[in-house]
Structures are given as structure tokens and as C-alpha cells.
């Protein structure tokens, strides 16, 4: 039963990662892309929690959750800083308009 | 058995709200759907016995999404979703890639013989603290440095020219 629960949790985590990936790839708004990335990390948190619960080393998977939660916060902070700087400089909030490097 | 049903139900909630993030018309609604997805995952963590980490995820994500709503209203057109809109590019390519990634990851989750240990260990919060202050000290140090670098970096990037002098 433990193994079945772990597999269900991991499949759900895979679905969350795939959903977030779809959002990050398809959305044009910078803020929505960041939400997609957050969803990917959300799936990873769930997977790490499941691995911690089911077995393996007692501590390491929960340390991974701490790392992932920090990553989420840092990604949000840095993402909003870049989005603000971009908007201030060029009045741009869509990735399709931020193509300075695409030459 | 109860845990399996709970995890599956909350997993469905997390995935459905996660998909809703990219379906909802309103940016604010999308943010709160994302929050719902986070809370569903956090409740699974709580059910698994990770009391500290589950509560940390709930608290952090609630605050983070509130900040996100403010940025949405600042930056986005149509934050309230009064008219329907889609802002996507390359929708089918993205769908294809996402489905392929899901197929690979789900196959891995179903095929790999995961190591299973009967019964959870002792207090996970104590174990986590002992790990972070012992064998995982390097992780903790790197996290601290990364947070410091982000604080400096966000201020440097987002400060206006006038305040930089």
C-alpha cells in the first residue's frame, strides 16, 4: 500500500511538472511564466515529500523540500525584479516584445 | 488506505487547479488557483507527517501569492478578468512537449522499483534540524548565500536610476 501511494503521488507530481512546463512554454506574460515555473517546483515539492514518506534516507528528502521552497521564493523575487526593470525600461510585459537579443 | 485516497484526491485537486491557472481569464483568479494547488500539496505533506514543512509551504505560498496579486494588478492588462483573453504562443508545441514530459516522468514513477521502508521515522522536524545543522550544513550555507545574493540582486536590478546615486 505504501508503494502504491508513493506511485500515485509521483504520477501527480509528474502531472504538476508537465502542467507548469506547458504554462512556462506557452504563456506570453512574464508573470504567468513565473507561475508556470512555480507549478513545476510545486510538483517537485510533492515528489520529495512522497519520497521522504515512503523510504530512503530519513533526512535528505526533507532537506530537498527546504531547498525547493527557498528556490520558489528566490525565483519569485528575482523574476519580479527583472519584470519591473524591463517594464520601466521599455514598457514591456510580454516575452514576445522583449527580443533585444534575438538578432 | 485512507492516506492513499487522501493523497489521490488532493493530487487531483492540485492538478485541476494547476491547469486552471492557465485556463482562467483573470490574472487574480489564476493566482488564487495556483495558491489552491500549493495548499493541496502542502496538505499532502501534512498528511505524510511533515508538519513543519507543510505549514511553511502554506504560509510562504499564501504570502507569496498575495504579493503576486499586487504585481498582477500593477503590470497586467485585464487583471480582473472582465473580458475573456488568452495570451499564449506556440500552444500546440508546448502541449506536445508537456505531454511527452508527463509520459516520461509518469512511466518512471510507475516502472522504477522505489525503495519502501515500513513505518515513518521519528520526529521529522527534529531530524530536519539536526540534518541542516550537521551533515547538510553546506546546503544551509549555500541557501543563505543565495538568499543574500538575491536580496542584493533584486535591489540592484529594480532600483531606479535616481536612487542609485
What grid cell was written down for A32? 504567468
Domains and CATH numbers, chain A: 2-95 (1.10.287.3510)
Q: Which of residues 6-45 of B touch A (CB under 8 A)?
A: 7-8, 11-12, 14-15, 18-19, 21-22, 27, 30-31, 34, 37-38, 41, 44-45
Closest Cα of chain B to A93: distance in Å? 7
ipTM of the complex: 0.89
Can you give the pTM of this predicted structure? Answer: 0.89
Mean pLDDT, 10 residues at a time, chain B of 165 residues: 88 93 82 93 91 92 88 69 68 90 93 76 81 91 95 87 56
Domain positions in chain B are 1-80, 123-158
Count of CB pairs separated by less than 8 Å, A with B:
248
- Cα–Cα–Cα angle for A14, A19, A20, rounded to 5 degrees: 100
Residue A13, SS3 per DSSP: helix
Residue of A38, A30, A34 lying closest to A86 (CA atoms)? A30
Amino acid at each position: 500500500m505504501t508503494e502504491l501511494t508513493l506511485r500515485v503521488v509521483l504520477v501527480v507530481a509528474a502531472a504538476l511538472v508537465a502542467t507548469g512546463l506547458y504554462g512556462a512554454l506557452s504563456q506570453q506574460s512574464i508573470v504567468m511564466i513565473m507561475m508556470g515555473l512555480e507549478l513545476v517546483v510545486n510538483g517537485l515539492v510533492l515528489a520529495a515529500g512522497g519520497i521522504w514518506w515512503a523510504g530512503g534516507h530519513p533526512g535528505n528528502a526533507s532537506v530537498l523540500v527546504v531547498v525547493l521552497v527557498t528556490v520558489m521564493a528566490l525565483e519569485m523575487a528575482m523574476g519580479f525584479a527583472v519584470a519591473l526593470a524591463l517594464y520601466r525600461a521599455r514598457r514591456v510585459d510580454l516575452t514576445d516584445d522583449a527580443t533585444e537579443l534575438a538578432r | 488506505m485512507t492516506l492513499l485516497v487522501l493523497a489521490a484526491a488532493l493530487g487531483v485537486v492540485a492538478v485541476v487547479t494547476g491547469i486552471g491557472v492557465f485556463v482562467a481569464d483573470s490574472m487574480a483568479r489564476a493566482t488564487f488557483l495556483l495558491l489552491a494547488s500549493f495548499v493541496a500539496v502542502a496538505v499532502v505533506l501534512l498528511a505524510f507527517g511533515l508538519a513543519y514543512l507543510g505549514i511553511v509551504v502554506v504560509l510562504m505560498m499564501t504570502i507569496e501569492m498575495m504579493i503576486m496579486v499586487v504585481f498582477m494588478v500593477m503590470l497586467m492588462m485585464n487583471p480582473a478578468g472582465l473580458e475573456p483573453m488568452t495570451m499564449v504562443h506556440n500552444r500546440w508545441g508546448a502541449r506536445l512537449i508537456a505531454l511527452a514530459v508527463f509520459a516520461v516522468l509518469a512511466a518512471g514513477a510507475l516502472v522504477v522499483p522505489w525503495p519502501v521502508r515500513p513505518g515513518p521515522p521519528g520526529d521529522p522536524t527534529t531530524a530536519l534540524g539536526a540534518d541542516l545543522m550537521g551533515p547538510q550544513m553546506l546546503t544551509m550555507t549555500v541557501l543563505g548565500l543565495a538568499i543574500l545574493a538575491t536580496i542584493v540582486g533584486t535591489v540592484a536590478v529594480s532600483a531606479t536610476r535616481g536612487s542609485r546615486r
